[in-house]
Every structure is written in structure tokens, then in C-alpha cells.
Chain A
């Protein structure tokens, strides 16, 4: 008799993927096929290389995936979700639903769907299929998007029918716990014409272990719809994080996206907004606190495909210690997209001499009657501000914190939801407390 000593890790390998699929044989065939295709794509795509402009300045060694495994169980320790008024919430721990509040009957009666991926695949397969990866992001991270699709098990489908307006935000929390565990959240938000809704997602680690997260969003706003999406990422400081955000706006749609980036050893965020219908508008906002040796890599694309479209990107990074940020953004205005107003601004506040902020703004304009601008600034904390605060008895660390909050306020104040403003401020503040 021979004994085979099993490796404690079942990595992201073919065997593991086969098991993943086999466990999901009850799901629709199109979903299984999409996963299989994504798995093939993941394997055929090379890892990012030094020659790849999409990954300029990024730490490529940090992207190694070998050691991570797909979690089979969930932790019972789920960090508490900030308490604020909401329409409904779903809480995932590793890939399983561990908590949720029911959708108010009034919303269910109007046809609103707020469901985990598995539920949505069971009950609304066709609707979900129509919008799943309809406009994939192609900003260099396709391999990680493929990995997400291959292993996606946790995630949410929010669907708001035509003309339905939901005031309170929908809330999702993804929690990841355990050493070398990984998570692949996939979020699909569909607002039909004239619908209004907001979704807030929290991405948090239940411990400080080394983890892998690759998340994907498909956000879709129909004609004259109003969508607010907030993603607050606070993984452990030893997490490799990847997030791809696809935004699609039809005629006169209004989309506001805010991403808060706090956690991760190395966190990449790709965001592509498509202003597909005339009169559509998108705000792309981001706030990052980068400290110690963290690297935050943000790649954006604003595509104006129709006339009278507007987009406004404002990414603000506060850098502490030896942290590093990369911002690379592009505005593309198609020939037909006359009277486009497009702005792209990246501001970096350096709180340390050793921090590194890289900025690569860009424009590609094919129409002749447009207003576009891009700008990037990096600056130290003005010494007179520092001294002024200290002269009132505020210690240097707290003074920096106040200055960072002041710096961020321009973005946070754009949120209509006061409670959410407070929740995000508290979350950002927690980063200054943990050290």
C-alpha cells in the first residue's frame, strides 16, 4: 500500500478548477461555459511583462499567484458592517453568504432583484446573462478578470426595473479570512431606463493574513437612469488585490462611482467608463491612503462614444512612508462625440519623502468640438499648514490626518448620502489608527 501525501494547498490549478465546476453543475450551462472559457483564457494569457505599457511602474513580482487557494469554508469571524440606513444587505464570508436582510416587499413587488450570484443564476439566468461581462474592461488585467470569472462564486446581482427609484443604498460586504485564501467577487448592477439606485460594497479581511482578491463589476445604467456605486476596499495589508470596474451609460444616464482604496500589499484597480448614449454623464472618483510599502495601481479609461457626454474623473492619493501609487488614465473621444466635456485629474499628497507617486495622464481626441483637460499634481504637505495645526496643540500625526481628510473632502462631499460620508470617513480614519 502506498500513501500519497497531499499538499495542504489546492492552488488555482486545473484540478481545483475542475472541482469548482463539478460542484456547480446545477448552475445554467451558459454560466459553466463562460467559466470554462475564462479558465482557458486565464491559462493562455501571459502574466504581465515589463514590456507591457499597461503595467508600467507596477511591481510584477508581486503578482505571483502560485500560493493562493480557493477557500472551501468560511470564517465565523465576520467584521461588523458599518451600520447605516440601507435598502437591503448581503454579507459574504469567503465565498458564502453568511448574512442578509430580506428585500423589502415593496421593492420586490416592483420587480427589484437583489440576489447573490447563485440565486440570480437560478431565478434570473437570462437577465443576468444579458449583462454579464457585456463590456469587459481591457486595460491590461484580462488575465485577472478571466481568473475572476473562472472562480466567481460570491457576488451580487442588483436589478432595478424601469422607472423604479430606490432611495436607500443596497449594501454588500465581502469578507476574506484565512492564510493564502482567495476571493473572486463579481457584481452586476443593471438599472433600466429612469431607474435610480445606489450600491455600496465593502471589501474587508477578517484577519491580517496573505490573501488574493480579484473582483469584477459590470455596471449598467439605462436611459436617464441614475446610478451611484461606492466600493470601499480594506483588505489585509498582505493581500494582492485586483479589481476591474466596467461602467456603461446610456442616453442621459448619470453615474457616480467612488472607490476608496485602503488595504492590500499591492492593489490594482482598472476602471473603464463608456459614455455610450448622448447626454450621459459619469463621475469617476477615487480616494487612496497608501502607507508603508503598499502599492496602489490605478488605470482608467473614459470613452466618449456619443455627443453631449460628460465625464469627470478625480483620483486623490495620500501617500505615507514608502508607499507607491500609479495613476494611468486616458480619455478617448470618438469622432461622433461632439460637445464632449471630459476631465481627468489625479492629485497626490505626499506625506513622506520616500513615497512615490507616478502619474500618466492622457488624451486621445478625434472630435473637433470638445472640452477636455487632464492634470496631475503631486505635492508635499505645505509646511505652513503643518505648523499652524501643531501650533494649536495638534500632534504631527493627527495634523497629517486632518490635512489628508481636508484633501479628501473635495471628493467625499460629492456624495449625497450624509451617513455614507460618515461611514467612509470612519473607515479611512481606521487606517490612521492601525499601525
Chain B
């Protein structure tokens, strides 16, 4: 992604300023960050890695359930994270598909060329499978994927990743010449519920999914051998071998130790029985490697305060920066018609970028975590403030603007003494709109590892746990109301008395 160097410099500068609170303890021993994808198995494996890092006496951070393979891969390349659990099939068929690698040795080489390493397989092959309800399969006499050709009426619902990736649905359809037209992409966890409710008939599964048993599904036989092998491995940065060799040694002790059954059991413990991933991961290490890891599960309150703190930081910095920049831009737009069109146009275009996409756009520039989230939220907060500042200034009656001119007040003094006070209400309305949008959108920043109230929401969606979702959604809603209330108070303080009188007299006159 090419950016004008000026913009790049501005973004980097902003990032450095925002990063400071995050890296102020950079001098501590070795801080190792592991990542995980947004499904339970990956999160459990991520927790296992985090325990191992701490076991080796290092400081560990787990950026859990980041939004997608690309996010993790880029974070690993850039050093935002040091290791994460991955599958050989994903590496060969998705991430490095252009290299057309044939052997495991070639894969190791390709990783090494990027400064990365990979452990040997951990012991289970979590390949994709095509799942269907047992009852429906019996009824339609379906055993293999080829059998699906005779049933074009079936509704397919695939996880969004499977829908798009080269080794997912497009390839599957081609290989088996499947005729089905009704194929939807949706969140994988929602797909299970759709299958259960009967609105979907076929979905993609992972071979170790806890739900296969729970929802009474079976996997159709891959009779044309379409799906590649998805051996679980740990990919990590090569420099980890120098920075923390003991961690790499511990990672390697996992090789060949997790079979499909124990993985699927762990998945079920977390997903279906509500155990905490951290506890399940520690239990596994105790059972399998006889490692007694010291894990502390944070209490609900501790997590709540952490999420609140993270959310407030995200909103506070991004909104403050937006106010500081957007008001002058709004003034500029009101002063010059041509500049106004440019400013409002650019801010409008930014607003049309879907919020999730905007977060992901930030990753190549700023990595993962707080800084890219803050920049995305900042960009999102600009338009309402710019537009309301512009409208507030433009709505001042011409007679008043001319009276100020006729007094001989210079342009800047007119702005300060007359125009801005008269636009106060409109500007504050814009700030309130931005604040509410900002608090809501900030829940999405959990997808790129910035935490906040989005974290329990994300976990709640993953675990199908409405309570967890509400733990994030309700505080976010309350925070939005509080922020709005705060600006109402500001308005009471800032709005000139004469304007309130004016509003009252117009009201009573009506």
C-alpha cells in the first residue's frame, strides 16, 4: 500500500504519540506477544502459548481473537506479535498460495525467507469438512460430498473465511461441480445455529469442532480429496530463538502432543461447558507436559475495569484529536467555498468506508492494537464535527455577520467574538454525534487487538454466550449516554445566556 510520504509521516507521528502509553514499559525483561484467531481452538492454543511464555519467566501478552488470518500474518511479519497457532493448509493454500509450495521443506524455507519459523505439527489435523445434520443426511442418503450434486435445493452457509479463500468454497464448487445457488457467507458460529434451526443445511466444519457432536452433525466424506491437510503448528519469529530460546524450547515440547480428540475436548470444555480458556489451557499443560503453570484468572470486575479503561483511552484520545482538528477544518470549509467542498468531500468519503474495513486498512500502516484503532476512530469522528461547525457558521444570519464586519472587526476577531459563540450549539451537537458513534464503533477495535468493551462482545459471539455479549454491549451503551450527558453539561456551561433566551422566546412565540 503506497501512501504519500507526508500522510505517512503524519500517521506515524500520531502513532508514536499514541503508542507512548503502550510501550512505556519497553525496558522490562522480554515481552512476548502471542496472537490467536477469532475461534475458540485458536484462542485455547494461544492461551497455551501464553502460559508457556510465562513459564519461561517472560512477560506474556495474548492478543486474542484478532480479526482474520491476514491480520495475524501481517502482525507476525511486522513484529506486533511473536507467535501464533496456524495450520499448514492455511499457510500453503492461502497465505503463501502464490509460491505454489509442494513440500514441508519448501514451506520451512519460504518461512525462513520471511524471518519466520514453524514447529513440527502439534498432532491434530484440523482440516475443513462439509457438515450436515445426521438426520438430514440419513433422510437424503448423503455420504460423500459428491452426493450433494443431486440436491441443488440445499441451502449452504459458510463461514466468511471459507467463502472467500482459494481453498474454500470456490475451489470446492469447481472440484465437485456443485449446482447449489443458495450459498451464504456468515459468521461461523451463527452457521451452527442456522443448521440447528433448519434454515441452513450444509456448512463448513473444522474437524476438531466441539459442535459436531453437540449439534449431531456428520462430516461428508471428501471423496475427491479436495481439502488439504491442516496440521496445527506454531509459527513464530526467527528472532525469538535469540530473544528467548527457552520459550522456543517449550513451544517445541508441544510437537505431536495434541491429538484431535483432546483438542476437540478442550474446545467443548470452553465452548459448551463454559470453562475459561485460560483454565483449560493450564489443565492441558498439567496433564500432558506435567507443567504446573501459575495462572490467574481475572475477576469479572477486574476485566470490566480493564475494558472500561481501554475503551475510555480509545474514545478519549480519538475524540479529543478529532475535535482539535475538525473544528478548524469546519471553519476553513465555511470560509472558503472551494476548500469547503474538498474538506467535506474527503471527510464524507472516509465516512463511507465500512468501519471494519477502516480498522483493517490501518494495520499495514500502524500494526495492531491501540494506535490503529485510535486513528480509525479519529478519522470516523471527523465528519459530524466538521459538518456541524460548517453548518453552524453558515447558518448565522447575514445581518449579524455584516454588522460585525461593519464595526471594523477583523476576520479573526469576528470569528472569536461573534461567529463561533453563535455556532456553539451546532458544533456541540456535532461533537455529541461523533462521541456516540465513536463509543459504539470502538467496540469493533477489539478485532484488531485494541481491547475495550468489544472484547467481551467478541468472546460472547464466539461462545454463543448472551451474558458475555451484554457485558460489553450494556457498558458501551451506558458510556455513550454518559459521554453525551457530559457534553450536555459542557453545553450548559458554554452556551451563551443570550442564546438560551433567544431559543426560549422563539419557542414561546410559536
> Is B truly associated with A?
no
Name A residues whose Cβ lies closer than 8 Å to a Cβ of B. Answer: none
Name B residues whose Cβ lies closer than 8 Å to a Cβ of A. Answer: none
